[in-house]
Amino acid sequence: MHHHHHPCNLKHITFFFLIYLSLHIPQTIEARNPSQFKPSRHNVNIPEIKRHLHRFGYLQHNNNNVSFEQALSRYQKNLGLPITGKPDSDTLSHIRLPRCGFPDDVDPKTTAPFHTKQKYVYFPGSPRWTRDVIPLQLTYAFSQQNLTPFLTKPQIQRVFRRAFAKWASVIPVTFTETEDYETSDIKIGFFAGDHGDGEPFDGVLGVLAHTFSPENGRLHLDKAETWAVDFHEQKSTVAVDLESVAVHEIGHVLGLGHSSVKEAAMYPTLKPRSKKVELNVDDVVGVQSLYGTNPNFNLSGLLASETSTNLADDMLVRSED
């Protein structure tokens, strides 16, 4: 049986956080009037929406089989928005938010059915880390030469220790820091511009980070960003929370794609000067489907602490069966 290859060759495609400064060139992001995020009918900009749909894989230049309305509907579905097929204000506001640059999963062959409760996705083929030893033990290391001037190495180490611990608490996988960058499984570094992997970084904002799918292990952060661990100390309007990006990118390192659950760590958008560092039940169920469950982890505890999502309610019902 011949399997089709994914048209986008996702195996080694990277992930970025993008911030759409080019759309609005604000003096400061803070100063932007929130009402600008709710455009009314007369300032809907179709070329802007089309550029966004192209950039994230919903429309292809060489494929006219997908209509604008279909592409927009799929975008709305993947972002967990009301599916109208129309450029409504809710959709417009999301198109203008900062987000991860990895294309959302738009291949119908790998996309879950429309009515599924599951919101997380995997890379095509569901690659994961495999080892003979159980539990799986992965090492990570920081590039000595490629750090960020905005943080000390101990600050960076603490952020990643916390971020890895979040994932390790839910799956039977351990993450251990090692000094040996060359031989470690996960290689973390801050790089500027063209750094030799075919995915050059672009300076302040724009692309923030990219990560390769299992079992590659490269996790790259854009050195040009104002990386922060504390927004009281770091006042820059373009500051980016390192821990939020670390948690998200580690999810990609482990094999998760983007989620349509807004509260999920794997949701594609992240605002500057904002933090989202906790795993949502959607992240947990997704990663546990790849690696199994950490015996010490209690899903009902997490569900009890999450108040609102329908997914959580459904999971609770199912786990009581």
| Cα distances (angstroms) measured from residue 273 to each of 11, 35, 237, 297, 310 | 31, 19, 7, 31, 28
Instruction: Kindly tell me which residue out of 94, 128, 220, 276 binds Zn ion, with binding defined by CB under 5 A.
Output: 220
Is 263 flagged in the annotation as binding?
no
Annotated catalytic residue 199? no
Question: x/- contact string, 14-43, with Zn ion (CB under 5 A)?
Answer: -x----------------------------
Question: x/- contact string, 84-103, with Zn ion (CB under 5 A)?
Answer: ----------------x-x-
- Which residues, numbered 127-166, are part of the site for Zn ion (CB under 5 A)? none
Q: Which residue, among 256, 255, 195, has the nearest Cα to 221 in the 3D structure?
A: 195
Q: How far apart are CA 318 and CA 16, in angstroms?
A: 35
Q: How far apart are CA 78 and CA 120, in angstroms?
A: 10
Q: Which residue, among 217, 58, 242, has the nearest Cα to 139 in the 3D structure?
A: 217
Pick the piece of the chain touching Zn ion (CB under 5 A) from 104-112, 125-133, 218-226, 310-318.
Answer: 218-226
Is 220 flagged in the annotation as binding?
yes
Question: x/- contact string, 169-208, with Zn ion (CB under 5 A)?
Answer: ----------------------------x-x---------
- Closest residue by beta carbon to Zn ion: 100
Q: How far apart are CA 158 and CA 243, in angstroms?
A: 9
Is 212 one of the binding residues for Zn ion (CB under 5 A)?
Answer: no
Query: Quick one: CA torsion of 219, 275, 251, 79, rounded to 10 degrees?
Result: -120
**Which residues make up the interface to Zn ion (CB under 5 A)?**
15, 100, 102, 197, 199, 220
